[in-house]
């Protein structure tokens, strides 16, 4: 565990930070790279790199040799370009027609999910005197965006007539690749292959094919194809409990704070909003400067746990917007003591998975909820 130093406290305006272990990110990247063989690695870093910090994570992965970056929004792609990222970038999300000139200006690959949008992309690129980079999106069973796989041949045929479009890739997305029963995922994979037969049937070069997300990388080697798109696995989290842990991953994120207040309360004293928790006996309460305004879930009220001096203690009362109270019984803790909300402390550990179970959600939501009000502290960069 990295203890915060006085310098760290001076660096940040508040004694709470998300700790991002770039050494563990390197480990995960290399472990995934070794697993996928010759397939390209398209690092999915949407939603502020799953809460880890978009720009620092992108720079680190670019140095490691990521073949592609994938994000959800054009704003994320533009932010990466303005930060000096030169690696190819694919934007997943559905686009509006008005956004197309920005894609071309910032050299961002566009997801084309329909005949109408592909034609419009081509027209705008022609007007601007450039070539649009495009990935065709095929719906094989997610029912989100993308042309239905049964009609994909129409999109592929139109692409052959678009003089100002370069089809870099064709992709789909698994709905159920992180479960023990992979029958649905394999059906999607077969649907994808059926759609892609268009290229071989018409003696055309098949564009780069990609469908495997983190679950697919961990459980479905047949789905690696030409490229894979790991997201949460890069950050050391398995996408579901039942997902096979075929790659040894290390968690990249920790969340630590400090005790900022200490008090002794008598038996029968209620704590926090709504008085949902009452001290069963005389006890010691410490207060931490973190709350749901930072993304620490309010659902952890009265049941979440933290680590102080390597020992677990439970949240007392409701999580507040900016603070949370901890019942430490008759143990010792003082102002300035480090508190681990996620991560290791001595022989003990609180995982993202544990926290998400307490909050009745999944690790994805926990990771992406921690907002920029909490500073990020990057360690083990070399």
Catalytic positions: 46, 273
Closest to 382 in 3D by CA, of 69, 21, 50, 32: 21
Q: Where are the beta strands (DSSP E) in 182-278?
A: 208-212, 227-228, 253-258, 261-265, 270-271, 277-278
State the DSSP H helix or E strand holding residue 230, giving kind and residue range, or none if neither. Answer: none
Give backbone dihedrals phi and psi of 103, rounded to 5 degrees, phi first: -55, -45
Strand-pair partners of 90: 70, 109
Does residue 237 come out as left (phi exceeding 0), alpha (psi in the -120 to 50 range) or beta?
beta
> Is 269 in contact with 302 (CB distance < 8 Å)?
no
Report the distance separating Cα 33 and Cα 350, nearest Å.
28
> Is 118 in contact with 155 (CB distance < 8 Å)?
yes
DSSP-assigned letters across all residues of 170-202: EE---SSSSSS--HHHHHHHHHHHHHHHHHHHT
| Exposed / middle / buried, residue 138 (Cβ in 10 Å: 0-12, 13-18, 19+) | buried
Alpha carbon distances (Å) from 220 to 139, 163, 189, 215: 19, 36, 10, 8
| Exposed / middle / buried, residue 195 (Cβ in 10 Å: 0-12, 13-18, 19+) | buried
Alpha carbon distances (Å) from 335 to 28, 97, 268: 36, 55, 24
> Is 49 in contact with 367 (CB distance < 8 Å)?
no
- For the record, the structure tokens of 111 come out as 């997801």
């Amino acid at each position: 565990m990295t203890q915060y130093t006085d310098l760290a406290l001076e660096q940040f305006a508040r004694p709470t930070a998300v700790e991002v272990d770039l050494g563990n990110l390197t480990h995960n990247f290399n472990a995934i790279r070794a697993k996928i063989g010759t397939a390209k690695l398209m690092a999915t870093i949407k939603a502020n790199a799953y809460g880890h910090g978009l720009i620092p994570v992108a720079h680190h992965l670019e140095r490691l040799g990521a073949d592609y970056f994938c994000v959800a929004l054009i704003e994320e792609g533009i932010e990466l370009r303005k930060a000096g990222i030169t690696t190819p970038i694919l934007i997943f999300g559905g686009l509006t027609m008005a956004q197309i000139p920005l894609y071309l200006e910032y050299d961002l690959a566009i997801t084309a999910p329909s005949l109408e949008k592909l034609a419009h992309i081509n027209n705008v690129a022609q007007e601007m005197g450039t070539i649009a980079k495009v990935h065709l999106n095929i719906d094989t069973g997610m029912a989100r965006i993308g042309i239905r796989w049964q009609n994909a041949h129409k999109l592929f045929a139109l692409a052959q007539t678009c003089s100002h479009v370069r089809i870099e890739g064709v992709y789909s997305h698994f709905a159920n690749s992180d479960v023990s029963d992979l029958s649905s995922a394999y059906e999607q994979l077969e649907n994808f292959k059926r759609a892609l037969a268009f290229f071989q049937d018409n003696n055309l070069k098949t564009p780069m094919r990609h469908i495997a997300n983190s679950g697919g990388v961990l459980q479905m080697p047949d789905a690696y194809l030409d490229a894979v798109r790991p997201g949460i696995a890069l950050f050391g989290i398995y996408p579901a409990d039942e997902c096979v842990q075929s790659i040894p991953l290390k968690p990249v994120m920790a969340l630590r704070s400090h005790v900022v207040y200490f008090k002794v309360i008598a038996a029968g004293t209620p704590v926090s909003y709504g008085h949902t928790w009452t001290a069963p006996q005389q006890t010691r309460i410490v207060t931490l400067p973190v709350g749901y305004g930072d993304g620490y879930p309010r659902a952890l009220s009265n049941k979440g746990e933290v680590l102080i001096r390597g020992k677990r203690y439970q949240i007392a009362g409701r999580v507040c917007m900016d603070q949370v109270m901890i019942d430490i019984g008759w143990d010792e803790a003082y102002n300035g003591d480090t508190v681990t909300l996620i991560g290791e402390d001595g022989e003990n550990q609180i995982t993202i998975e544990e926290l998400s179970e307490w909050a009745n959600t999944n690790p994805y939501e926990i990771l992406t909820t921690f907002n920029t009000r909490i500073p990020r502290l990057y360690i083990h960069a070399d």
